[in-house]
Structure formats: structure tokens, C-alpha cells
């Protein structure tokens, strides 16, 4: 029998004594009585915390699970913080959810607790993608907002993204302060459940047009779209919340030949046609690619369940489709936007773009080529939103993104937006098609100008309390025993974001890093390679990001250089697996 920390047992018993429903009490009794205590430990060994994506976890009973009580406590803590932050003001929040199991229940719970505390709620009548929640916060002048979603996690998960008045996810000090307020609630019975339905105002479907018109303003090549309006495009929402919005955006841009994957069009939190509802995984795009072959599509698009991340597949010239990774997609959009902004005389020196520290440095190189400042921030779109807010009124934001298929064009939304990203990507395909170029041609053009960058990500899953401890031990090992070489290649620099230090191994110097702390370590090698190690903030994983680059002398050398880069990544990967 597994030994159980008395604190865990005490926490479970305190839940039993509280005013929770009988079904939950029965589940807790079963956990306490079970001979195998693993599930009891995982359910109660900690309280869910805000990570890079907010509150997220497996659904079930317990303090480390997503349920109406952890949702209620998080909302009560957020409500308390809002009331302290904006004393004497009429406070309002916006709420919506995607397609996941229990999402209506969790969103209703969130709305009820807010109204019980005298806070007005703008509540979408129907599910909507995450970017539209961010947009609503700004449009209605809300102080905060909540999106109930677990993004691309497996069906057992749900989550709760908390937003601030700028439309971005909460950042320091608000994230820590909200958790502090939640931790002050020592009993479930301390929550205010006395809802006030009079404080709920529903956001109806006609609000969509206001958002769609903002997305339409981003278009830079209407003439080329007109020429390519019949270009076949396939789209799948993968059973998620973007089933109406992405087709609507494509149509408002002028695309008329859109094919929806019918088997994945209806919202369904069980995600019956895929193993994982993650557009990063080609398996999730199987049906979309098959439809793409049937209709000879020029572009296949798909979104994750909450519609903030998109994937793009393009014809590979061999009768199939190539899934572009997030770094390629981000680089293409960056290059296209800056090319068009320059063409239209819109680059005045006051513009900027944003990249994250684990995303390809090719984006930095492209921005430098156009003399546009590119800021590098920590992982998570909340950090991109934060720098936009910081520079508001001083510099003009163009776009920004991260390697995990997230991109945001324009600043009317302050979180990654698959709707606008999908539309802009379709536009760039149409634009270059008019010029007789394929997406691969454009990528080769970019690589020849700025260097052929290639990236690879591996994620190592380690579940439960033991897994979390193993991940922390791995990171501690990197810090305490710094490698001098990786796969026989000399390490020249190490950046430890958590310790705010930069180690120059060539000159044996140590400098201070001017960046918020985060549990990330980056290794820079003598040959230009870069490896980043980062525990996930929302999943029980440690992620390793590999980046290598070489010169591409000409288009004909593409596959040869690519094979060389793949071999280098393979060698680096062996060091960490």
C-alpha cells in the first residue's frame, strides 16, 4: 500500500465535511478506502495553480482536479481580487467556453459566483473561440474575463483561462495575487453561491460581425484574393468552437470555395474522430487532408478546440500534403506581413513584432532584414499581450507568435487568434499563387535570404506527483552540472531564465538577464545550434526545443541542407532522450 502524507488525507477529509454534493463525497470516500492511493494522492496533493495557460487539469473530484468547487474557488478568489483592485467601480467580466465536457456547467458556475459577488457578466449565448472572449473584454470595457477550455489537451481535461482588462491572460503580479486570494479561502463553504441572474447580459450572435469586421481590416491583398477566390480551401474545427468563425472569416475575406470536414464540424468534447484534438499532430488532420486530396485543395486548415491555434497544410507536389510546423507558419506570415507593409509604405520605424524565446530565431532575422524591432518574451501569449500593453501609444504592433501554432495579427485581440491567422495564411497563399509561387518556393526564398532554420520539439511526459518531482530533478541537474558540450559540440553560452543569469562559457563571464523569471534553461552551441529545456505550465511534461541552421546557397540545395539539419537535430536529441 502506498504511504499517504497526512496532509493529503486531511485535505480530502476537509472536503468531505464541506457542503459539496453527495456524488462528490461518495467519490472521495472511495478514494480514501481504496488500497491503491495513487489517485487519492494525485487528486489532493496540491491545489491547481495558474500556469502559462491558466488553470488546467483532469476533471474529477479533489483540489488538484477540475470541478465546480475548484472552479468556484478560483472565481471567488478572482472576484475578491477584482473588488480590491477596482474599489467603488462597476466591475464587469466576460465569459465563454468551447466544446469540452462540463464546459457549460463550469462556465455557468463561473458566472454564478461572479454575480453573487455583485459583478456584472457579459456571457456569450453560445460557445465561441478564445480570441472572441479577449475581444469582448476590450469591446465591453470589462475588467476581466474567463474562458473555460483545456485547449488541445486530451478529453479528460478542462481548464480556466483568466484574463485582465487589456484582454490578455493575467500576468504578474495579478496571477500571483489571484492565487493568494484563492488560498485565503480555507473552506468550500466560504464561497458565495447566491447568484444574481439580473447581473447577466448575454452576448448574442450578431456581435460576431463586429469582430469579423476587425479581422477583415487586416487584409493586405484584396485584389489577389479576388483573382484566387475559387481557390479550394479545406477547413476542420476538430469538433471545436471555431466551426462557424473560421469559414465566416474566409468568406468575408472573399474566398468562395470552402470545404468543411463534415465529420468534425459539430462540437463534441469527446473528440470521437481523433486521438488528440491537437492540430500539431498530423493524425488529427487525417480527415481534412483526405478531403483536401478529393477537392484538390490549395490549402488545408484546422484549429484546436478553443480556436486560438491553427495548422496549415499545403500541397507537397507529390499528390499529398505537407503539415507546416508552427515555426514555418510563423515565419511565412511574418515575411508576408512585413513585405506587404513595406510595399504599402506603412513601415515608418515605429512598428514592432514579438517572438517567444523557444520560437525560431528566423523570425528575429526576418524582422532585422526589414529593420523592424522584434521583442523576445517568455513562452505564453500573455507575455506578448503584456509587451503590447507596455508599448501602447508609443509603438505600433504588427503581429507576433509562438512555435506551438499560435499567431496574432493586429492588437484588437490580445491572445492568439486562429481566425485571423487562418485568414492571413489563406491570403498569403493566394498572393503568392498569383505570382506563380508555391509556399515551398517562398520558404526557400526566405531561407536563402536569412538562413535555413529548422526546429524540432520533443515532449517527455511524467505524470502525477512523482512525475512532477522527476521533472524538477532534471532541471536541477542542468543547473548544478552544466554541460560543456552536447553531442560533441562545445556549449558557448547558457541562459538560465529562472536564475536570471547568462553564462558566457567562452570568456568565463556571468551576466544578469533582464527578463521575468521562468523555469527555462537554454544552451547555445558553437555551431549555432540552440536547445531550450522547459517544463510545461499546463501539462505533466518537460519539453526540449531544438533549433539548428545553415546557409541555403540555392533552391536546388534545399533537400540536401534539410537532410544535414535533420541529422544535426537527431544527434542533439540523443543527448536528452
Active-site residue numbers? 151
DSSP helix/strand/coil, 324? coil
CA distance 243 to 235: 9
Nearest to 98 by CA among 188, 161, 6: 161
CA distance 171 to 173: 6
Residue the block writes with cell 469579423: 212
Nearest to 2 by CA among 37, 27, 31, 30: 37
> Which three three-digit cell numbers place residue 281?
499532430
CA distance from start to end of the chain? 32
Nearest to 352 by CA among 393, 301, 399, 406: 399
110-138 burial code (b ≥16 CB/10 A, e <16) = bbbbbbbbebbbbbbeebbbbbbbbbbbb
CA distance 153 to 135: 23
DSSP helix/strand/coil, 517? coil
> Which three three-digit cell numbers place residue 546?
531544438
C-alpha dihedral over 17, 23, 26, 31, to 10 degrees? -100
| Residues contacting residue 334 through CB under 8 Å, at least 6 positions apart | 353, 363, 366, 367, 399, 401
Are 57 and 157 in contact, with CB atoms under 8 Å apart?
A: yes
> Which three three-digit cell numbers place residue 575?
543527448
Give burial (CB, 10 Å; 0-12/13-18/19+) of 470.
middle
> Which three three-digit cell numbers place residue 77?
478568489
Question: β-pairing, 541-550 with 530-535?
Answer: antiparallel
Give the rounded distance of the alpha carbon of 415 from its chain centre: 8
SS3 per-residue string spanning 135-196: HHHHHCCCCEEEEECCCCCCCCEEEEEEEECCCCECCCCHHHHHHHHHHCCCCHHHCCCCCC
Dihedral class, residue 99 (left if φ above 0, else alpha if ψ from -120 to 50, else beta): alpha
> Which three three-digit cell numbers place residue 493?
553560452
Amino acid at each position: 500500500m502506498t504511504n499517504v502524507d497526512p496532509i493529503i488525507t486531511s485535505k480530502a477529509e476537509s472536503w468531505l465535511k464541506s457542503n459539496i454534493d453527495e456524488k462528490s463525497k461518495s467519490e472521495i470516500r472511495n478514494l480514501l478506502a481504496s488500497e491503491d492511493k495513487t489517485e487519492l494522492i494525485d487528486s489532493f496533493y496540491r491545489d491547481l495553480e495558474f500556469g502559462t495557460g491558466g488553470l488546467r487539469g483532469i476533471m474529477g473530484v479533489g483540489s488538484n482536479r477540475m470541478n465546480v468547487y475548484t472552479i468556484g474557488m478560483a472565481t471567488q478568489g478572482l472576484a475578491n481580487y477584482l473588488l480590491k483592485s477596482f474599489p467603488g467601480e462597476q466591475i464587469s467580466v466576460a465569459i465563454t467556453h468551447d466544446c469540452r465536457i462540463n464546459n457549460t456547467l463550469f462556465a455557468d458556475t463561473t458566472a454564478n459566483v461572479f454575480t453573487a459577488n455583485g459583478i456584472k457578466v457579459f456571457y456569450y449565448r453560445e460557445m465561441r473561440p478564445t480570441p472572441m472572449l479577449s475581444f469582448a473584454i476590450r469591446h465591453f470595457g470589462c475588467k476581466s474575463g474567463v474562458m473555460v477550455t483545456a485547449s488541445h489537451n486530451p478529453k479528460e481535461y478542462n481548464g480556466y483561462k483568466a484574463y485582465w482588462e487589456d484582454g490578455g491572460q493575467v500576468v504578474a503580479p495579478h496571477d500571483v495575487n489571484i492565487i493568494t486570494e484563492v488560498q485565503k479561502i480555507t473552506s468550500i463553504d466560504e464561497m458565495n453561491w447566491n447568484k444574481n441572474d439580473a447581473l447577466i447580459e448575454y452576448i448574442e450572435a450578431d456581435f460576431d460581425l463586429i469582430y469579423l469586421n476587425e479581422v477583415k481590416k487586416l487584409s493586405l491583398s484584396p485584389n489577389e484574393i479576388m483573382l484566387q477566390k475559387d481557390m479550394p480551401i479545406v477547413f476542420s474545427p476538430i469538433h471545436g468552437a471555431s466551426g462557424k468563425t473560421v469559414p465566416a472569416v474566409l468568406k468575408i475575406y472573399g474566398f468562395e470555395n470552402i470545404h468543411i470536414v463534415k465529420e468534425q464540424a459539430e462540437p463534441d468534447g469527446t473528440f470521437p474522430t481523433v486521438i488528440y484534438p491537437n492540430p500539431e499532430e498530423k493524425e488529427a488532420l487525417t480527415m481534412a487532408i483526405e478531403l483536401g486530396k478529393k477537392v484538390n485543395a490549395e490549402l488545408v486548415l484546422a484549429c484546436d478546440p478553443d480556436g486560438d491555434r491553427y495548422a496549415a497544410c499545403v500541397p507537397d507536389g507529390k499528390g499529398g500534403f505537407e503539415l507546416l510546423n508552427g515555426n514555418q507558419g510563423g515565419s511565412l506570415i511574418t515575411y508576408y506581413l512585413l513585405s506587404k507593409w513595406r510595399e504599402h509604405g506603412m513601415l515608418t520605424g515605429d512598428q514592432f513584432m514579438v517572438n517567444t524565446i523557444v520560437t525560431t530565431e528566423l523570425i528575429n532575422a526576418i524582422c532585422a532584414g526589414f529593420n523592424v524591432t522584434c521583442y523576445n518574451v517568455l513562452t505564453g501569449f500573455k507575455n506578448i499581450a503584456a509587451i503590447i500593453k507596455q508599448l501602447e501609444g508609443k509603438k505600433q504592433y504588427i503581429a507576433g507568435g509562438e512555435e506551438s501554432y499560435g499567431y496574432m495579427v493586429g492588437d484588437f485581440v490580445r491572445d492568439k487568434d486562429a481566425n485571423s491567422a487562418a485568414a492571413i495564411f489563406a491570403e498569403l497563399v493566394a498572393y503568392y499563387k498569383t505570382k506563380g509561387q508555391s509556399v515551398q518556393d517562398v520558404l526557400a526564398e526566405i531561407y536563402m535570404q536569412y538562413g535555413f532554420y529548422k526546429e524540432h520539439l520533443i515532449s517527455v511526459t511524467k505524470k502525477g506527483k512523482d512525475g512532477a518531482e522527476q521533472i524538477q530533478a532534471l532541471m536541477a541537474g542542468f543547473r548544478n552540472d552544466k554541460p560543456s558540450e552536447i553531442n560533441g559540440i562545445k556549449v558557448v553560452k547558457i541562459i538560465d531564465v529562472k536564475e536570471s543569469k547568462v553564462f558566457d562559457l567562452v570568456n568565463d563571464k556571468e551576466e544578469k538577464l533582464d527578463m521575468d523569471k521562468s523555469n527555462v534553461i537554454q544552451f547555445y552551441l558553437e555551431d549555432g545550434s540552440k536547445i531550450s529545456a522547459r517544463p510545461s505550465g499546463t501539462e505533466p511534461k518537460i519539453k526540449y526545443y531544438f533549433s539548428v541552421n545553415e546557409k541555403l546557397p540555392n533552391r536546388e540545395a534545399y533537400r540536401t541542407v534539410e537532410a544535414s539539419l535533420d541529422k544535426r537535430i537527431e544527434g542533439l536529441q540523443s543527448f536528452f532522450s
